[in-house]
Amino acid sequence: MTELLIIKPSSLGDIVHGLQVATSLKAQCEGLRISWIVRDIFAPIVRACEAVDHVYVFERNAGTKGFMRLMREVRKVRFDYVFDLQGLLRTGLMTSRALAKHKVGRTDAREWSGLFYDQKVPLPPDGRRSHALEILLQFCPVLGAKPELRGRVRFREVDKLTLSFAAARGGTKPILMFPDSRRAEKSWSGFKQLTEMLLRSNSNRRVIWAGSNYQPDKGTLPADRFLNLTGNTSLVSLPALIQRCDWVFSNDSGPMHLAAALGVPTLAVFGPTDPRLFGPYPLNSPTNLVVQAPAGELKLLPAKEVYTRFIKAEQRLARRR
């Protein structure tokens, strides 16, 4: 049995990438047991992932006492490897306190965290211009695995989601939208207009909005074909909700990465961030569509353009099926 500790406390998108790496390692390495240090707010989704065997919860607001309490718990196990996928001072300190034969980190680690590693993984051939997931996949060869995705991320049925609205009706699944983003500059304001276009153009179409922050719809959308779950979407139910839908529309955000990881067709709206580095992976998949705003300015991207791109992509995908 090989004991591996992964340190990746946040954020949701980065954690999804880490779960993809963990899944690939489990698929390639026999007898591997994976533990994970994660922030309390993201712990439910890591705990639900089938590739993770044990979760240590990091309470960021608990201060020094909370940090020391966490590390006392971690130090009860002697690991074969620690992988610091985050590469910041806090995670470097976690790496230093953990008991392990090999402590491995990123070549591009910041905040002096590199001082705590005895091995650093190289960057991919494109260096810092590589996709975020490809950078994390470079940890795989440390365990003799190939730096590529293997297997599909799967989640345990922790929360039995009973959402009749999302259940297939007449073979039609709803479109799921995440109209919010953690950063304001990555939030496109056209989701309401896009929703209106989609519902108007197809009487069988249904749309769900989801996300952790409430987004008002002003009650102008038909209640029989639209459901607003924003501000009322539990993290642990997110995988089940995504898998019940036909498409996921999102800003550059964690749910976008989760949808792509689950193989659900994904339309990602990008503004100032570079989709080559942070887009739905893999970028060349026929189920991953990126719409880039002109000059990176989301206010310059009309809903009609996104709608047109989606209809074309939907038709192409239908022909493939």
Residue type at position 241:
L
Could you read off the pLDDT of 38-50 as tens digits, one per residue? Answer: 999 999 999 999 9
- Domain extent listing, the chain: 2-143, 164-320
Name the 3-class secondary structure at 313: helix
Read off the pLDDT of each residue in 24-40 and give the average, rounded to a whole number: 98
Q: Mean pLDDT over residues 235-258, rounded?
A: 94
Residue 203 DSSP SS3: coil
Residue 177 structure tokens: 């939208």
For tokens 């608990």, what's the residue? 62
> Which CATH homologous superfamily contains domain 2-143?
Glycogen Phosphorylase B; (3.40.50.2000)
22-31, 51-60, 178-187: least confidently modelled range: 178-187
Q: Note whether 2-143 and 164-320 share their fold.
A: yes
Say if residue 170's pLDDT is above 80.
Answer: no
Amino acid at 258: L
Cβ-count burial of 139 within 10 angstroms (0-12 exposed, 13-18 middle, 19+ buried)?
buried
Give the number of other Cβ atoms within 10 Å of residue 148's Cβ: 10
The H or E element containing residue 238 is helix 238-243
- Looking at residue 242, its pLDDT comes to 95
| Residues in contact with 17: Cβ distance below 8 Å, sequence separation at least 6, in sequence order | 132, 133, 136, 257, 281
Mean pLDDT in residue range 68-81 = 98
pLDDT at res. 201: 95
d(CA 16, CA 261): 8
Residue 55 C-alpha from the chain's centroid: 18
- Give the model's pLDDT for residue 234: 87
d(C-alpha 244, C-alpha 237), whole Å: 11
pTM score, two decimals?
Answer: 0.93
Task: State in words which class domain 164-320 has.
Answer: alpha beta
Question: Does position 171 have pLDDT exceeding 90, yes or no?
Answer: no
Contacts of 304-307 with C-beta under 8 Å, sequence gap 24+, read 304/197, 306/190, 306/194, 306/267, 306/269, 307/194, 307/197, 307/198, 307/201
Q: Tokens 């590390």 correspond to what residue? A: 71
Q: In the prediction, which pLDDT does 220 show?
A: 82
